[in-house]
């Protein structure tokens, strides 16, 4: 499905003009003749972008935009304000109402499409992050309120001292600003936690478009929003800048309130995307890790050892697994309680992982059971390692709430055979663990091979 764009204008010819332009680019277009109608459509339909006429009878575009941005269901939809008004105060009013950008009439096709594509890219990234993290537009509002209080770290790439001072000085009241006139040095700074990059297109000593292109090409800076400063008559280069991937433009002479509004809008989007990405990484970690012990969980283990099976099949590279189980753990829980049981699990996990190699995969496989995979290891070597860990656990008391507890473990060890799957080798190792338990516990037993008599 193509991007869905809402056009809001009280005049039918204006709607038709924009509709033709957008449909020619294969966008799906919805229309509204008033601000009130636009609010209803935005509530009910999935929209990717809104083109809002500023001057309409009844509820004007500024009011409609403000209501959209204050609604938990619609605040995330990018809004481009369309206006015939060129005065700075009107542009500022649109941005302060929450508009993400504005274009003036008569509308230039290239300028319109450049801004539409830029905002649709941002909307697409936001939607992807929302879907991955389980956030919705409504429940993300507390996150946004917190983000609005953050201080941004801005890199200004400008080699003219007076121009750089005019930009950096007012921004320093609310943000941290680094000024660099050398593009090479600026590239290095871009990887140091920068939240926004402002690039001058009017420098005589470097090509601002080339700098933007390099920033978007480099992995460490490609996700940092870029605001470029240019001259109104340099429209061709400004359009090219959007094709490169910059996020916004501001024209000279710079109006300070407009600059603050554009900077703050870009920073909010950056912080929001960062927060969602952090949340996604945290959720991903929760999916594959055990919250009690900090070890990988069963899902993590199953995925982590896939390369070992590949190496065994393609290069005949040995690997072994071991299954550890805490002896009499149910009795420990029943007598001492689950809180102390959790402390014991954490201590056993720490002792196991600190006594294995860095290349070994250690996980809590479930309950009081731990699974370890040892690459490039035959069964005899794995047995020695398992018995060493067993001995260390048994030989040192575990202190919980002032009590010294003597805890032991049992283990089963199996070397993976050609053609085996994880369930096959796990069953063999688990059978060996059962035999170790039956033999009196605090022991390590080897597995029986499939082809053994």
Question: Does 383 map to a domain?
Answer: yes
Which residue range(s) make up the domain with 175? Answer: 140-282
Confidence grade of residue 235 (pLDDT, cut at 50, 70, 90): confident
Q: Provide the token pair at 275.
A: 């927060």
Domain for residue 8, yes or no? yes
**Nearest residue to 301 (alpha-carbon basis) of 355, 357, 370:** 370
pLDDT tens digits, one per residue of 350-376: 999 989 988 899 999 988 999 999 999
Task: Say if residue 34 is in the same domain as residue 76.
Answer: yes
407 shares its domain with 327: yes
User: Same domain, yes or no, for 376 and 395?
Assistant: yes
Domain containing residue 330: CATH number: 3.30.70.270
pLDDT score recorded for residue 285: 61
Number of domains in the chain: 3
DSSP for 297-310 reads -HHHHHHHTHHHHH
Q: E strands, 234-318, where?
A: 248-251
275 with 382, same domain: the answer is: no
Last residue of a domain, one of 131, 148, 181: 131
Identify whether residues 56 and 87 lie together within a single domain: yes
C-alpha distances in Å from residue 314, one per residue of 187, 189, 229, 416, 418: 43, 44, 56, 14, 10
| pLDDT category of residue 127 using cuts at 50, 70 and 90 | confident
Give the catalytic positions in this structure.
368
**Secondary structure class of 291 (helix, strand, coil):** coil
pLDDT above 70 (res 137): no
Band of residue 163 on the pLDDT scale cut at 50, 70, 90 = very high
For tokens 């509820």, the residue is 59
**What does the block give as tokens for 420?**
């085996």
What are 269-326's pLDDT values in tens digits? 788 778 777 766 666 666 678 889 988 888 889 988 999 999 999 999 999 999 999 9
- C-beta separation of 362 from 352 below 8 A: yes
Residues 118 and 151 in one domain: no
Q: Which pLDDT belongs to residue 86?
A: 65
**Other residues' Cβ atoms within 10 Å of the Cβ of residue 279:** 17
Residue 452 has pLDDT above 50, yes or no: no
Distance of alpha carbon 115 from alpha carbon 246, whole angstroms: 10
Residue 292 lies in a domain: no
Helix 109-133 × helix 235-244 angle, to 10°:
20
Would the pLDDT of 429 be above 60?
yes
Q: Which helix (H) or strand (E) holds 399?
A: strand 398-400
Please tell me what DSSP assigns to residue 101: E
The three-class DSSP label of residue 296 is strand
Q: 331 and 274 in one domain?
A: no
Q: What is the CA radius of gyration of the chain?
A: 31
The answer to whether residues 11 and 58 touch, using CB atoms and an 8 Å cutoff, is no
Statement to judge: residues 73 and 152 lie in one domain = no
pLDDT at 74 over 70: yes
Instruction: Take residue 440 and report the two structure tokens written for it.
Output: 């009196």
- Cα 6 from Cα 77, distance rounded (Å): 10
Of the three residues 282, 313, 328, the one that is the final residue of a domain is 282
Contacts of 201 (CB under 8 A, 6+ apart): 208, 209, 228, 229, 230, 231, 234, 237, 238, 241
Does a structural domain hold residue 172?
yes
In a domain, 358, yes or no: yes
User: CATH code at 167?
Assistant: 3.40.50.2300
pLDDT digits (tens, 9 = 90+) for 414-428: 999 999 999 999 999
Structure tokens at 223: 């996700």
pLDDT of residue 165 exceeding 80, the answer is yes
* Chosen domain end from 247, 282, 317: 282
Mean pLDDT for the stretch of residues 219-241:
88
Task: Decide if 422 is inside a domain.
Answer: yes
Same domain assignment for residues 124 and 148: no
What's the CA gap between 236 and 241, in Å, rounded?
Answer: 9
State the distance between the two ends of the chain, measured CA to CA, in whole angstroms.
61
Q: Which residues pair with 362 in a beta bridge?
A: 372
Place of tokens 């299954």: 323
β-strands 398-400, 28-32 pairing: unpaired
């Amino acid at each position: 499905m193509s991007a869905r764009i809402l056009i809001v204008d009280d005049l039918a010819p204006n709607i038709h003009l924009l509709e033709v332009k957008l449909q020619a680019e294969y966008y799906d277009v919805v229309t509204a003749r008033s601000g009130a109608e636009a609010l209803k459509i935005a509530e009910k339909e999935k929209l990717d972008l809104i083109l809002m006429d500023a001057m309409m009878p009844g509820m004007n575009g500024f009011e409609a935009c403000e209501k959209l941005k204050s609604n938990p269901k619609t605040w995330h939809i990018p809004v481009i304000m369309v206006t015939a008004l060129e005065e700075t105060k009107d542009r500022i009013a649109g941005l302060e109402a929450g508009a993400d950008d504005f274009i003036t009439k008569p509308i230039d096709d290239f300028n319109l499409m450049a801004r539409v594509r830029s905002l649709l890219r941002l909307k697409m990234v936001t939607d992807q992050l929302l879907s991955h993290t389980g956030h919705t537009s409504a429940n993300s509002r507390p996150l946004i309120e917190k983000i609005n209080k953050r201080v941004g770290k801005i890199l200004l790439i400008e080699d003219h001292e007076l121009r750089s001072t005019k930009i950096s000085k007012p921004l320093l009241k609310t943000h941290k600003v680094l000024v660099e006139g050398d593009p090479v040095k600026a590239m290095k700074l871009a990887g140091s936690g920068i939240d926004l990059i402002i690039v001058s297109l009017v420098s005589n000593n470097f090509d601002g478009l080339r700098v933007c292109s390099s920033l978007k090409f480099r992995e460490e800076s490609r996700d940092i929003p870029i605001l470029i400063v240019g001259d109104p008559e340099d429209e061709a280069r400004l359009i090219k800048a959007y094709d490169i991937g910059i996020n916004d433009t501001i024209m000279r002479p710079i109006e300070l309130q407009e600059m603050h509004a554009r900077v703050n809008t870009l920073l909010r989007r950056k912080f929001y995307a960062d927060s969602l990405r952090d949340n996604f990484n945290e959720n991903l970690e929760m999916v594959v890790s055990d919250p009690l012990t900090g070890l990988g969980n069963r899902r993590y283990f199953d995925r982590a050892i896939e390369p070992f099976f590949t190496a065994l099949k393609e290069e005949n590279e040995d690997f072994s697994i071991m299954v550890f189980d805490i002896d009499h753990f149910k009795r420990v829980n029943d007598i001492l309680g689950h809180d102390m049981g959790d402390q014991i699990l954490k201590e056993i996990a720490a002792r196991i992982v600190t006594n294995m190699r860095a290349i070994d995969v250690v996980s809590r496989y479930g309950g009081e059971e731990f699974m370890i995979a040892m690459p490039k290891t035959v069964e005899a070597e794995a047995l020695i390692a398992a018995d060493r860990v067993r001995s260390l656990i048994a030989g040192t008391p575990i202190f919980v709430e002032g009590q010294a507890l003597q805890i032991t473990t049992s283990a089963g060890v199996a070397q993976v055979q050609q053609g085996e799957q994880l369930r096959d080798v796990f069953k063999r190792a688990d059978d060996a663990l059962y035999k170790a338990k039956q033999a009196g516990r605090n022991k390590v037993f080897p597995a029986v091979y499939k082809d053994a008599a």
